[in-house]
Amino acid sequence: MNILITKDKNLKFLFKIYYFIFLIITLTVLTSLVLKNSFYQKSVITKILPKSIGENNIEVDHINDLYTARSLQENKHIDDIKIDQIRKTKIIPNITVVRLPNDLQTIKSVKNRKELFIKITLPLIVQENEKLLSLNQKIKIIKNNIDQMKRKEAIWIHSLMEEYQADSLDALLIKVDTIPVSLALAQAVIESGWGTSRFAYEGNALFGQYVWGKNNDGIIPNERDTDAKYKIKSFNSLSESVASYMKNLNTNFHYNDFRINRFVLKSNNIPIKGTHLAEFLFSYSIEDNYIDKIKNIIQINSFEDFDNSSVDKEPSLLTDII
């Protein structure tokens, strides 16, 4: 007998009870899922391989952007980073954090807030430097074997020369090179306010680069003059911000002296210090004391301990972060 069409009042009443219970259970499950997504944001670490010519084939733990400052602090991969150990070993964990948590400023301890910013930013800087070093070494190999250059290499070199606005291999070698870790880290601190600026957490902008034009992605500063047209350049990830910053120092004509001094020091096997090369970044900011500010940040925080660091080549396990 089909209870949907039955005239039995008891069966009809029983069916209504079952239907009401089923409805309550369904709504409870749906509500639970909605609340779970609201309070627990899931991030995934995946291994990615660099694809660009000249990059090292290194596995990277890639941490996605759905987290809070607290969950990031408690994440095993981040917690395992020991700043004092890095200062001694010069080995940086191969971890990539995609975005800054927008509640970084809520960490009450200044020491903990600074440490978390270093843990996020330091690997990105060293990773990008290793890409540049790999490119530099490949250019040198081609230059030293110029008579045996293959067509594929010639096309690649030509493309790189256009990208870096260089008219010779020697000029290209001066431009395609690493940035002192201490210098990059200090500028990231200054330009992003230790990762708490609106530009940093809204646009992944660690270095306060200006852009002009409607087609350029950027964030308009609140204090910008009404007739001003510039914006603070925004990025899809923190890694893109670091790469853009280094490309800026390596190509912009304002930093010719910076690049020449870097090249001279390296050519003579003289250790490169961030405090020394900071002298040639007077065009980076309109602040009169900008160079002194960079030097002070480097010295107070002992950032030169991180110079000449390298990425840990040991692969890490894939992990889910809740």
Give 284-298 pLDDT, tens digit per residue.
998 989 999 999 999
Average pLDDT over residues 8-16: 64
Which residue has 């080995």 as its token pair?
Answer: 91
pLDDT band at 320 (very low <50, low <70, confident <90, very high): very low
Average pLDDT over residues 122-126: 96
Q: Is the pLDDT of residue 59 over 70?
A: no
Would you say 122 and 308 are in contact if contact means Cβ atoms under 8 Å apart?
Answer: no
Question: Are 55 and 116 within one domain?
Answer: yes
Q: ∠12-14-15 over CA atoms, to 5°?
A: 65
Question: Are 51 and 25 within one domain?
Answer: no
Question: Are 120 and 35 within one domain?
Answer: no
For residues 132 and 94, what is the distance between their CA atoms, to the nearest angstrom?
16
Q: List the structure tokens of 21.
A: 């219970």
Question: Are 174 and 202 within one domain?
Answer: yes
Most confident of 159-168, 206-215, 312-321: 159-168
pLDDT value of residue 79: 82
Would you say 79 and 85 are in contact if contact means Cβ atoms under 8 Å apart?
Answer: no
Domain of residue 173 covers: 43-321
pLDDT value of residue 321: 30
Average pLDDT over residues 226-236: 77
Question: Are 199 and 273 within one domain?
Answer: yes
Q: Coil, strand, or helix at residue 284?
A: coil
Residue 204 vs residues 223, 256, 259, 276: alpha-carbon distances, Å: 19, 27, 26, 28
Question: Are 104 and 226 within one domain?
Answer: yes
Of 224, 235, 231, the C-alpha closest to 201 is 235
Mean pLDDT, the chain, integer: 82
Question: Are 218 and 158 within one domain?
Answer: yes
pLDDT value of residue 65: 43
Number of domains in the chain: 2
Report which residue type is found at 121.
T
Question: Are 4 and 134 within one domain?
Answer: no
DSSP string, 7-57: --HHHHHHHHHHHHHHHHHHHHHHHHHHHHHHH---EEEEEE---STT---
Question: Are 199 and 307 within one domain?
Answer: yes
Would you say 122 and 86 are in contact if contact means Cβ atoms under 8 Å apart?
Answer: yes
**Per-residue pLDDT tens for 33-48?**
544 443 333 333 333 3
Question: Are 189 and 84 within one domain?
Answer: yes
Lowest mean pLDDT among 7-16, 79-88, 151-160, 196-205: 7-16
What's the chain's length in residues? Answer: 322
Average pLDDT over residues 84-94: 93
Q: List the structure tokens of 261.
A: 């001094």
Which residue has 């809204």 as its token pair?
Answer: 202
Regarding pTM above 0.75, the answer is yes
